[in-house]
Amino acid sequence: MADLATLRKPAALSPARSRAGDRLAARARRNVSAHGFLIGAVLCFGFFSWYPICREIVMSFQKSRLGVTSWAGLSNYERIFRDPTFWTAWKNTLEFTVLALIIGYAVPFFVAILLNELRHAKGYLRCLVYLPVMLPPTSALLLFAYFYDPSYGLFNDVLRHLHLPVSQWVQSPGTGLPSMAMISVVIAATWMNMGGATLIYLAALQNIPGELYDAAELDGAGLFRKIRHVTIPQTRLILSMLLLLQIVATMQMFVEAFILTNGGAGVNNNTLSVVNLIYQYAFALSGASNYNSASALGVVLMLVLAVFSGGYLWLTRQTDR
């Protein structure tokens, strides 16, 4: 009987098996917590991002009148393509994107090079460059609206003291390429957003080995040759990524023109952007069916931006390899 009781008594777990069980339980608890946070993030992202996208696509093929929704096929797309302001908005958006790349893409890079070459007050100057990013966009743009005022604005006061002709700035009626109104909007947008790009460029510049610049100096290279043959090749991937990100961001221009030109259209629609036209379709024009036209234009813009986003993802994948 004693032998039978001994056989029925469970054997004590070895220390190694006990530690393995504890590690397995801890891993399971960590996974439960991680999956819980992941599920919550996916639900929030799906509700606030994926659902509006899917809803927008569905609405672009529908027509709503007096609360009754019916299938409209491609009629909303035909309507926006027949609208003359559609092509005007795309021309202005592309003009803004090109000007932003010429001004807003190059200026932060050269400011970062200048900050990288300084020996004193680096931290202070970095904060000074990044300060506009910390300002609320509305406050910064209202400040520029005061500067651009043709009657009492600061910019025209400076031109008068220099005995130079004044400008209408954002109220300029010109529609040429580029128009003064669009240039004014780009200058304000560049001042507001250059801080983040400058710090990214500065971080990339500080990772360039100093031996490359020493070798370039031994070869007799000057400042511009060092930038061309050392700085730009060493920061090529960062430059390419920020180029794609800036294209995607600038093609969604809305708040700058909306505040500076009192509604976004400017004079003769010379600052009307695609996103501003979406706003006008949805809220500023009469008729309930304009929500559907706004959805159709939003889908067109989304498809155009998807091309650039795909290029950005491909470039990121190449960088990770």
Query: Which residue carries 């004044």 as its tokens?
Result: 166
Token reading at 114: 């200048």
* CA–CA separation, 201 and 251 (whole Å): 22
What is the mean pLDDT of the segment spanning 129-158?
A: 86
Superfamily of domain 84-320: MetI-like (1.10.3720.10)
- H or E element at residue 181: helix 180-206
Average model confidence (pLDDT) across the chain: 80
What is the mean pLDDT of the segment spanning 28-51?
A: 79
* CA–CA separation, 31 and 36 (whole Å): 8
Strand 62-65 and strand 68-71: the pairing is antiparallel
pLDDT tens digits, 239-248 = 877 888 888 8
Better pLDDT: 60 or 15: 60
Better pLDDT: 245 or 262: 245
So what's the pLDDT on residue 13? 47
Q: Is the link from the previous residue into 178 a cis peptide, with omega within 30 of 0? A: yes
So what's the pLDDT on residue 17? 59
Provide the 3-class DSSP secondary structure of residue 232: helix
> Would you say residue 36 has pLDDT above 80?
no
| CA-to-CA dists, residue 19 to 31, 58, 103, 214, angstroms | 18, 55, 61, 56
What is the mean pLDDT of the segment spanning 29-38?
A: 74
Full-model pTM: 0.77
Token reading at 131: 């300060």
So what's the pLDDT on residue 240? 78
> Would you say residue 310 has pLDDT above 50?
yes
How big is the chain, counted in residues? 321
What is the mean pLDDT of the segment spanning 226-232?
A: 80
Q: What is the CA radius of gyration of the chain?
A: 29
Better pLDDT: 7 or 128: 128
Q: Where are the domains of the chain?
A: 84-320
Q: How far is CA 20 from the centre of its chain?
A: 48
227 band by pLDDT with thresholds 50, 70 and 90:
confident
- Asked whether the beta carbons of 116 and 202 are under 8 A apart, the reply is yes
14 band by pLDDT with thresholds 50, 70 and 90:
low
So what's the pLDDT on residue 200? 86
* CA–CA separation, 304 and 146 (whole Å): 34
Range 191-206 burial, b when 16+ CB lie within 10 A, else e: bbbbbebbbbbbebbe
What is the mean pLDDT of the segment spanning 202-210?
A: 82
Better pLDDT: 301 or 211: 301
- What contacts 96, CB < 8 A, 6 or more positions away? 182, 185, 186, 250, 253, 273
So what's the pLDDT on residue 1? 47
CA-based nearest residue to 197, from 135, 96, 126: 126
pLDDT tens digits, 95-106 = 888 888 888 888
288 band by pLDDT with thresholds 50, 70 and 90:
very low
pLDDT tens digits, 180-195 = 888 888 888 888 888 8
> Would you say residue 150 has pLDDT above 80?
yes
| CA-to-CA dists, residue 123 to 127, 133, 192, 199, angstroms | 6, 16, 19, 11
